[in-house]
Chain A
């Protein structure tokens, strides 16, 4: 398990903005896994710069963790925070659907809770 924490996160984050905690489940270091991680990171940088956390879990190394988030398909992203939990599967190539799936408003300038802004 490796945890990516952007050093910039602490600097730019303000107390009013909700913190995003994402978990990326992959199985082995395959091209799909790499693509999913790349896509997720890009997306977060674009829309959640400074207030996100991505945890990558390789199920081959930690198979017991698959049960907790009910993971069947990989790659899969689970939005742990903000609640509620949301799940999307695939390499995250379709940015539009990822945004819908994570319930993330593009260019979240006003930084309100995403649900309220719907």
Chain B
């Protein structure tokens, strides 16, 4: 594929507005169509992503160790963690739900954290031979991030629905909070990651202009 260093907006001292896609001159502080504040590709974007990513990893620990739900069943109070919930659902008849919960609350968050960490690393070490995979990875992370919230919402619905005092009642646990925080921080991390960083370090872009 033919693309010279001239083809990138940044090399032409232009900037595409992320909201309305209007091409602006780099000297402009605000977009000429939608008046959005413009900021250029910089290392700060990566710093924000890494900071949010570290926060989400820290939140992921209590989210898995603390109980996400307390069930009161005929006077007996039992606490269940996320993994415990998946295991208790792993019975004939409820396999599909166990799989949904496992994918949404365990596989997706871990995958997302790993994918974002890998993207941050590969952008920093300017590794461009895995770009194709990285681009797909980035798109996938943006697409699936929100879906981890299923477990938190399900706990909220169960807690509202099952309130029969001593016979049977469900209460949310502290892990719901940590888990919600983790999902939000990973979403923010994916949003702050600038995908143009993956393309900014092409070898031929560094060809000096005459």
Are A and B interaction partners?
no
Q: Which residues of A contact B (CB under 8 A)?
A: none
Q: Which residues of B contact A (CB under 8 A)?
A: none
